[in-house]
Structure 1
Amino acid sequence: MNWAASRSCFKQLLRDPLRTNSLPAFLLPAFSLPNRHSFSTSTPAQSRVGSSPLSIPSEVSLKFIDLPVAKNVTVRQGKDIPTTAVEVTGPLGTLSLTLPSFSKLNFDPESRKATVEVSDAQVAHQRAMWGTIRAHLKNYVIGVSEGHTFILKLVGVGFRAMIEPKAITIPEPAYPGQQFVSLKVGYAHPIELGVPYGVKASTPQPTTILLEGIDKEVVSQFAAEIRAWRKPEPYKGKGIFVNGETIRLKAKKIK
């Protein structure tokens, strides 16, 4: 009998006054507790990440856009309908961040500080998304001002990469001028991957791939797709390593 079944059995005994005396005295306090209780008695505090102000560089501008609200559309219960978006513009490009309806972004042009607020910090979902919204805004600000860079190292005998204007296995490019990353990582044929729009790929060395872009999510996702073709293995230390990634080597299995 598992714990839940045992608890249910003892609760039935507690409801019967004739059988309550049959329980040991040390079990009465434990089974008289309510069904749901909190592991912490402290009140929910503000998000340490979400409530901290974010510095906006002078070359970056924020523009608030009111999103149109669709009429005569059935909305599922619990689905959020955003009403505001923030357009982040910098010397490298422009990105748009959609804010949930329960969040608000305050920007002071004089101090160049931006803060994120939520309607009710007591709600778990809003409190969880508080820091996430600020993290997305920070990534957008860094992306349009400095850019995001991912460095991939190919470790292995014969491993190398090249940037090609055309691909044999991908006849049609996704957009005009798309380039392709060609990997030779131990397969019988080269692996060809199309570079996503907005990402710049280069090979400073045959075993190094440099990815640059303003959208961190797009660049990191493409880096993960490249790494997936030859994940670092712990016995010989071969594979594709991203941004100084390391792996602990294991002892070889000797029969």
Structure 2
Amino acid sequence: MSKIGKAPITIPAGVTASVDGQTVTVKGPKGALEVNVVEEIGVTLDNGTVLFAPRGETNRHRAMWGLSRTLVANLVEGVTKGFEKKLEISGVGYRAAVQGKNLNLALGYSHDVIYSIPEGIQIVTPKPTEIVVSGIDRQKVGQVAAEIREFRGPEPYKGKGVKYAGEFIFRKEGKKK
């Protein structure tokens, strides 16, 4: 039995949810999102709460039960509060700046890396060595942050590169004589 899946999702004030077959749509102050729930899970909307129930007893049914509930809970949280990921840049001369709809990154290459910001995502650079990615879709925010980090991931010897805020980089010792 899924501990996550059996917990109901309460819809807060100012947010509307609707279930149409396997599609759950959530609208709130920050926008609207929708997700298609897999066929193995039944979804019902009852008095401001969304309930999930598996339609069978296989391992896949139980796995999809918790996943489906979490996906809809992320929609509700996204349209009310939103999500954000912070990235830190460390290295001499490494910096970031937002120019219009592009993020301009100087990461030690012979050229600047220009990343076009996707729809529904906001990127802010409070400092030249800090990037804040925010939006209402949790998957999109995480994907954009991962793509930015991928341009120059943190290296283990000096710790230079782009890393998530609070991420621990395992440091290695250099060569010895």
C-alpha distance in structure 1 between counterparts of 2:19 and 2:44, whole Å: 10
Q: In the alignment, which residue of structure 2 is the partner of 1:143?
A: 78
Q: In the alignment, which residue of structure 2 is the partner of 1:107?
A: 45
**Correspondence 1:86 to 2:24:** yes
Q: What does the per-residue CA deviation read over 1:1-38, in whole Å, with 9 as the maximum and x for residues that have no partner? A: xxxxxxxxxxxxxxxxxxxxxxxxxxxxxxxxxxxxxx
Q: Which residue, out of 35, 38, 55, partners 1:119?
A: 55
Paired residue total: 177
Larger gyration radius, structure 1 or structure 2: 1
Q: In the alignment, which residue of structure 2 is the partner of 1:17?
A: none
Q: CA deviation at 1:95?
A: 0.3
Q: What does the per-residue CA deviation read over 1:23-66, in whole Å, with 9 as the maximum and x for residues that have no partner? A: xxxxxxxxxxxxxxxxxxxxxxx112111222321122111224
Q: In the alignment, which residue of structure 1 is the partner of 2:102?
A: 180
Match of 2:126, SS state, is strand
**Correspondence 1:241 to 2:163:** yes
Q: What does the per-residue CA deviation read over 1:98-154, in whole Å, with 9 as the maximum and x for residues that have no partner? A: 122221223332xx432211101x212111111111111111111100000111110
Question: Percent identity between the aligned chains?
Answer: 37
Q: Any runs of at least 4 consecutive aligned residues in structure 1 with deviations exceeding 4 A, and if so which?
A: none
C-alpha distance in structure 1 between counterparts of 2:106 and 2:61, whole Å: 46
Unaligned runs of 5+ in 1: 1-45, 67-83, 166-178
Match of 1:149, SS state, is strand
In the alignment, residue 247 of structure 1 is paired with which amino acid? I
Matches within 5 A, 1:11-22: none
C-alpha distance in structure 1 between counterparts of 2:61 and 2:76, whole Å: 22
TM-score, normalised on structure 2? 0.94
Q: In the alignment, which residue of structure 1 is the partner of 2:5?
A: 50
**Correspondence 1:206 to 2:128:** yes
Matches within 5 A, 1:151-230: 151-165=86-100, 179-230=101-152
TM-score, normalised on structure 1? 0.66
Structure with greater strand share of residues: 2
Q: What does the per-residue CA deviation read over 1:185-224, in whole Å, with 9 as the maximum and x for residues that have no partner? A: 1101000111111001111111111111001111111110
Q: CA deviation at 1:233?
A: 1.3
**Correspondence 1:253 to 2:169:** no
In the alignment, residue 170 of structure 2 is paired with which amino acid? R
Q: CA deviation at 1:249?
A: 1.4
Q: In the alignment, which residue of structure 2 is the partner of 1:171?
A: none
Q: CA deviation at 1:242?
A: 1.5
C-alpha distance in structure 1 between counterparts of 2:50 and 2:25, whole Å: 13
Residue pair 2:102, 2:117 contacting (<8 A) in 1 also: yes
